Amino acid sequence: MAGNYADLATLLARGISQRRMYFDGHPNVKQCATEFVDLLGRLLAEEEVSSFLLGVVEGKLVHDGRYLVGSTVVGRQLTSFAELLEAGGYEIDARIEASELVRFFTLAAETEEAPGGLEASRQLLAANGIGLINLSPPYRNYGTSQESIDLADETHSDIETLLAVYQAMFSTVEHAHMHAAMSRDLQIDEARSVGESLVKVSRTGSTDIMNLVNYPDCDTYTVGHSVRVAMLSILVGRAAGLEENLLCELGAAGLLHDVGKGKIPQEVLFKPGRLDAEERLIIETHPEEGARMLLDSNDATPLAVAIAWGHHRRYDGGGYPKMPHGDRTSELTQLVHTCDVFEALTAIRPYKRAMTPRHAYEIMLKDRDAYSPAAMHALVKAVGLYPPGQKVVLSDGTAGIIMAAGDDIERPRVKITHDEDGALLGQDAMLAVDLAEEEAPAVAKLLLGA
């Protein structure tokens, strides 16, 4: 698998969260450690350096003067552990082995009390047999290297806004699922205000938010899935001409659509491989469980209840929960159903690679009775063949990020980020190009999950 430094940070964060969920020797924990060691070896050998420095600045992960935005969202364990240790980051030596990383995951997952200063934290690591991860001093002590954080390709305020929204989305969905698992009442307010911010952010151009939405958050994929479905539903809803206030409601409903999964036992929910018939029946209770919880909250909108209940119902009346007359669900529930399937096909999951939108449409159209034609039409209009946020290489050798679908689904609008030689352009030189214009280059390659 290809990979970059952001993937390294994500693997570290994923290792800690897998260790929280499972035990030391669990294959998922070991796999994160092994993948990290392989990728670290490859990246460091390419650059001929001997260690990887992952900084933590104001709660965000930083590498080589750049915020690792996607990894920061999943990397809360890493940033909060650094804060507990009073460290400014982690310097990881190229010689590290998977077994030492597993010890680090365990320590990060189990340490609750602050050791009391950087020195004490270093001793804690050493006492746990972690000698090849060195804790850096807090960032403010770096002195002159302060300039090294120059945010060449992102403006600070954009990142702040996006991170805040994305983190709020994550915690909303995570809280809702935790409350569900613990049979506590749901807090609907949170989802509602996040739905509103989501609509605001998506209005200013969906590129960045979709870029975040694309990262492979395998450890929390139910949460990531709900977040992406909410975002997609807003984009598709806008393409279908919905009013802004309805989009906010739709966003909140999208965030909560799978909340019933909080009631499903983890062994079934996270089971790798195929489910047997009995397990499938258990999973299929989640729409009813979710709708019941939302109803019990006395605060959810009718739309959120309807969508939680009906998002696995097909347009032709099939799907689940079963209805005696095979009645059809509402157009907005159909819209979320369509986004739900599209997201599941195009997302990266622990057990599969991402699929191109074209391939996903082909699969969906083979089973066209399952989807409302209006919802399908709006989906293609909103996403096109090239989803916003994806990286692409163009026929003239430049590379960039898809900003929005164009009128011609083959020709999206792209922000050019790299020149023909692969060098990153400065913020000022990153021009938006409409590929529908004459003499504009064409898309040569879609870099999935990049």
Q: Which spans of this chain sit near Fe ion (rule: CB under 5 A)? A: 258
Q: Is the dihedral of CA 46, 350, 258, 80 positive or negative?
A: negative
Is 359:419 a contact under the CB 8 Å cutoff?
A: no
Going by C-beta distance under 8 Å and a sequence separation of 6 or more, which residues neighbour residue 80? none
User: Which residues is 313 bridged to in the sheet?
Assistant: 319
Smallest separation, CB 229 to Fe ion (Å):
9
Q: Give the residue with the Cβ less far from Fe ion, 290 or 406.
A: 290
Instruction: In angstroms, give the least distance from the CB of 380 to Fe ion.
Output: 22
Minimal distance, residue 21 CB to Fe ion, in Å: 20
- Min dist CB 281 to Fe ion, Å, is 14
- Residue 125 vs 229, nearer CB to Fe ion: 229
Residue type, 376: M
**Least distance between Fe ion and beta carbon 312 (Å):** 6
Q: Give phi and psi for 169, each to the nearest 5.
A: -60, -45
- Positive or negative, the CA dihedral 239, 242, 245, 250 is negative
* Nearer CB in complex with Fe ion: 208/258: 258
DSSP state of 241: T
Give the sign of the dihedral formed by CA 153, CA 158, CA 161, CA 166. Answer: negative
Contact 190, 242 (CB under 8 A): no
Residue closer to Fe ion by CB (options 156, 352) is 352
**Nearest to Fe ion of 258, 289 (CB atom):** 258
Query: From CA 2, how far away is CA 187, in angstroms rounded?
Result: 40
Of the two residues 281 and 447, which places its CB atom closer to Fe ion in the complex?
A: 281
Q: CA of 95: how far to CAs of 39, 43, 87, in Å? A: 12, 13, 21
Residue nearest to Fe ion (CB): 258
Q: How far is the CB of 366 from Fe ion (least distance, A)?
A: 21
